[in-house]
């Protein structure tokens, strides 16, 4: 579609966008959302109207005077707003954050961990970390150096068999990370910067086409690595006891308690199958070299 065609379709009946195993019906008349979709989702499948959709979402102007005075945007899920409105300029980031909320709140056939996930050779590295750790910067660098993106934000560990379900969507970059990735990979496609959000200045990086084309391919967990960017620090990969890793991953899980026994068993299986590390870095090239040397557990080979 041209941008004009996309804007018309989004406004009229919406689009059915497939990201990994999820289908989202999106409607909006806000140009900024169409701009972001056209730039970052051009390689994703669009479906014809379907009998089943995972998420019905829309982004709309509030029906108040705020539509004209300091305009705002609402994220609607099944016609209802789960969040307060944001400034209109943040409409596309709000779509991304809202879609993360949809998955993390409803995909309970998986253990959901706040983590980036990358894959090579069929083996997945799970990178759980709090905001400000350099997780997304490292993830963006890895997927521009031969690793497949499974997710930047949500590790989906299937309860039935412990495999990682891909959810490749644009990588969220914040503040200094935006320029770091622009210089590290000049060919990467980034959205325009949005300032003064709840996360500071944000931009999103387009997912490599190969990661999108392989979105139906699950991966086996092999490494759980807790990354931390520290300016000037030497690159260090340090083994972490599995018991400590279990507790730290559980702290980063959205639905561990909700799943009860199944959550415990899935988490235990994930940790048992993985080599666990703390990882400190300050130079991306050194980080990439360290990841290139990772070997999967002997039990998986």
In tens, the pLDDT along 98-125 reads: 999 999 999 999 999 999 999 999 999 9
Q: Phi, psi (5° rounding) for residue 136?
A: -70, -35
Give the residue-averaged pLDDT of 139-149. Answer: 97
Q: Which two tokens stand for residue 268?
A: 């235990």
The answer to whether residue 251 scores a pLDDT higher than 90 is yes
Residues 173 and 67 in one domain: no
Q: What whole-number percentage of the chain has pLDDT above 70?
A: 98
Residue 301 pLDDT: 58
pLDDT in tens, 163-216: 999 999 999 999 999 999 999 999 999 999 999 999 999 999 999 999 999 999
Note whether 210 and 278 are same-domain residues: yes
Q: Say what the pLDDT of residue 143 is.
A: 97
Question: Quick check: 10 and 34 in contact, CB under 8 A?
Answer: yes
- 55 and 118 share one domain: no
Shared domain check, 205 and 128: yes
| The domain boundary residue, chosen from 106, 126, 147 | 106
d(CA 135, CA 53): 31
pLDDT at 300: 64
pLDDT of residue 249: 96
Give the pLDDT score at 132.
Answer: 81
State how many domains the chain has: 2
**Do residues 96 and 238 share a domain?**
no
Considering the domain architecture, whether residues 70 and 160 belong to the same structural domain is answered as no
pLDDT of 65 higher than 70: no
> Is the confidence at residue 298, as pLDDT, over 90?
no
- pTM, two decimals, is 0.94
Domain limits for position 40: 3-106
Boundary (domain end) residue, out of 55, 73, 106: 106
Residue 50's pLDDT band (cuts 50, 70, 90): confident
Give residue 64's pLDDT: 73
With contact defined as beta carbons under 8 Å apart, do 103 and 116 qualify? no
- When mean pLDDT is compared across 21-25, 131-135, 244-248, 297-301, the lowest value belongs to 297-301
Is there a single domain that holds both residue 90 and residue 141?
Answer: no
Radius of gyration of the chain (CA): 19
Clarify whether residues 78 and 142 are in a common domain: no
| Range 152-156 average pLDDT | 96
67 pLDDT higher than 90:
no
Q: What average pLDDT does the chain have? A: 94
Mean pLDDT of 11-19: 94
Q: Are residues 231 and 283 in the same domain?
A: yes
Q: Are residues 181 and 231 in the same domain?
A: yes
- Please tell me whether residues 134 and 226 are part of one structural domain: yes
95 and 127 part of one domain: no
Instruction: Mark which of 106, 122, 147 sits at the end of a domain.
Output: 106
């Amino acid at each position: 579609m041209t941008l004009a065609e996309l804007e018309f379709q989004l406004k009229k009946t919406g689009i059915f966008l497939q990201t990994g195993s999820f289908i989202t019906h999106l409607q909006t008349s806000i140009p900024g959302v169409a701009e972001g979709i056209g730039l970052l989702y051009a390689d994703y499948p669009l479906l014809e109207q379907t009998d089943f959709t995972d998420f019905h979402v829309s982004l709309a102007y509030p029906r108040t005077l705020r539509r004209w005075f300091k305009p705002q945007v609402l994220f609607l899920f099944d016609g209802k707003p789960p969040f307060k409105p944001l400034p209109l300029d943040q409409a596309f980031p709000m779509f991304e954050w809202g879609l993360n909320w949809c998955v993390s709140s409803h995909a309970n056939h998986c253990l959901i961990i706040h983590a980036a996930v990358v894959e090579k050779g069929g083996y997945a590295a799970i990178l759980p970390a709090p905001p400000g750790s350099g997780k997304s910067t490292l993830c963006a660098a890895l997927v521009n150096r031969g690793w497949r993106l499974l997710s930047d934000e949500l590790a989906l560990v299937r309860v039935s068999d412990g495999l990682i379900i891909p959810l490749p969507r644009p990588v969220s970059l914040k503040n200094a990370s935006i320029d770091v990735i622009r210089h590290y990979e000049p060919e990467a496609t980034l959205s325009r910067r949005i300032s003064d959000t709840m996360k500071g200045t944000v931009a999103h990086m387009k997912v490599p086409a190969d990661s999108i084309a392989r979105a139906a391919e699950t991966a086996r967990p092999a490494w759980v690595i807790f990354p931390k960017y520290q300016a000037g620090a030497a690159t260090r990969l340090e083994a972490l006891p599995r018991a400590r890793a279990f507790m730290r991953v559980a702290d980063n899980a959205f639905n561990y308690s909700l799943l009860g026994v199944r959550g415990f068993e899935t988490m235990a299986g994930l940790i048992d199958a993985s080599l666990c590390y703390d990882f400190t870095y300050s130079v991306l090239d050194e980080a990439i070299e360290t990841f290139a040397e990772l070997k999967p557990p002997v039990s998986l080979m």
